[in-house]
Structure 1
């Protein structure tokens, strides 16, 4: 039987490695079958679940979650399997592993329905929940990843250019290059990159990189390219947000691959952020926050 969250305190030194600094968050471990999920929370009210990208973790939302919480929401930021301070009994991944983990954590916390904000890898799980368990989703905001009903075009192939290196990743090889100008318009400081990557010194996280890409990211990418999700209807109200400097998903391409959304989704909109690329939440946190709150109000 699943157990509720186990408080761990907010002292950074109580965790190994130490949590990066972020004021106002409550930290706990949520025990589900085969998994102890680190969850950072802030605020009270209607639940908002934020699912991070790769190679990030809960701290990705450090600037956005407090602003959302200040508007009367309870923001829940779990570390997904293979990331952050979450601990898994089984190191393997399947295409639906993280989706199942998220649902199990929400069940353990007694949350039946929530708003979702998802980026990159986290958007994979958010998309799967939207299609297969739409009753759990009040609204969806999907960052830097196209919807499941996307029309494939060779123009999006550069979005997968980083995958070969991650499929062949070896322990000790730095992931710092993922934060290059190709993916972020603002140069991230060494302290910020350390905040994201320090936890990769944990063997479990470091060893999960290839398993994550081979077991989940590649199979789901193939589903997208084969039109798997185009055979379903997207029911939750979904906003897809891209940076205007995100080459493979710049506005003309994003609009092209989403052009028949009226046939594929109940309600879907696109939005674009100036001076931002793939790492939207670091490039333009204020603009992303404004879009999220606007979508909650208009679509929620």
Structure 2
């Protein structure tokens, strides 16, 4: 498939249903892989950077971060993952590692052998799958708001899962607006920002996808995180894990204790903590995220 031609054909945001939220400088394409039509927003030219959004977000999460990376000479690729945004799947189910396989197929179509990777929230699960299973495709990794797979689990982490039961029990027609509020953010979001994230709820399949994500991806991942799955493997790509300082389930002292054995499990690993930010760190502190990512990509993932 000629991705550049498709991107030109669907560049207008009003083409999409509902219309895409505005973000200057992006090109938009539909990329077809087996069973999936992925919406991909991209910007810039140079070494590729793959940005994986969290839940309940989509490509627009990176509206401030991607252009800043592009200005520094990167080609930034922001796909809507299966079950999110403007991507459509033939099968409404979301298998545990389906998004990882979607990404490898997408990268093949785009001609990307290896990329820097930045992930947030649920996108971090897919990013970990990719980094462990296909380390040769990940030049470096910045993981936001989610601890590494090799963490030492503690019951003190349980508040981080407090939103899980309401998401399982929610009606598919109930808005997810309540997630974009304290304690998950430090700065109130404007109605324009909320609309940018939530207008995609007009697509009926998005409401149904929430439960598919919870049962298909998160539930099977929990035993891996609690058990030894990741502890028995080695994380090869240079990895920076960052949290907002107001992301209270992941206070710095606890996170450092959970990750104190990182040398046993990762080739190159570092922690960072971002002032003035909670869970939705890319909205609370985009400039800090940009600075961390650029520094990590250029220090740890340089061409060589």
Q: TM-score range by the shorter chain?
A: over 0.9
Work out the CA distance in 2 between the residues paired with 1:84 and 1:227: 33
Q: CA deviation at 1:110?
A: 0.9
Question: 1:28 matched to which residue of 2?
Answer: 29
Q: CA deviation at 1:167?
A: 1.3
Q: CA deviation at 1:227?
A: 2.5
Question: 2:226 matched to which residue of 1?
Answer: 225
Question: 2:251 matched to which residue of 1?
Answer: 250
Work out the CA distance in 2 between the residues paired with 1:134 and 1:299: 14
Normalising by structure 2, we get a TM-score of 0.96
Q: Say if 2:46 and 2:75, in contact at 8 Å, map to a contact too.
A: yes
Normalising by structure 1, we get a TM-score of 0.98
Structure 1, gaps ≥5 residues long: none
Work out the CA distance in 1 between the residues paired with 2:275 and 2:142: 17
1:65-104 map, 5 Å: 65-104=66-105
Q: Say if 1:119 and 1:142, in contact at 8 Å, map to a contact too.
A: yes
Deviations 1:166-205 (A, max 9, x none): 1122121111110111100111111111110110110111
Question: 1:175 matched to which residue of 2?
Answer: 176
Work out the CA distance in 1 between the residues paired with 2:159 and 2:228: 19
Deviations 1:54-100 (A, max 9, x none): 00000000000000000000000000000000000000011101111
Q: CA deviation at 1:223?
A: 1.2
Q: Say if 1:244 and 1:275, in contact at 8 Å, map to a contact too.
A: yes
SS at match of 1:72: coil
Question: 1:190 matched to which residue of 2?
Answer: 191
Deviations 1:279-299 (A, max 9, x none): 000000000000000001110
Question: 1:115 matched to which residue of 2?
Answer: 116
Work out the CA distance in 1 between the residues paired with 2:97 and 2:137: 16
Q: Say if 2:175 and 2:201, in contact at 8 Å, map to a contact too.
A: no
Q: Say if 1:151 and 1:227, in contact at 8 Å, map to a contact too.
A: no
Question: 2:141 matched to which residue of 1?
Answer: 140
Work out the CA distance in 2 between the residues paired with 1:150 and 1:290: 25
Work out the CA distance in 2 between the residues paired with 1:276 and 1:294: 19
Flag as ranges the 4+ runs of structure 1 deviating above 2 A. Answer: 3-10
Superposed CA RMSD? 0.8
Q: CA deviation at 1:154?
A: 0.7
Question: 1:153 matched to which residue of 2?
Answer: 154
1:260 aligns with 2:291: no
Q: Say if 1:142 and 1:240, in contact at 8 Å, map to a contact too.
A: yes
SS at match of 2:231: helix
SS at match of 1:198: helix
Q: Say if 1:169 and 1:209, in contact at 8 Å, map to a contact too.
A: no
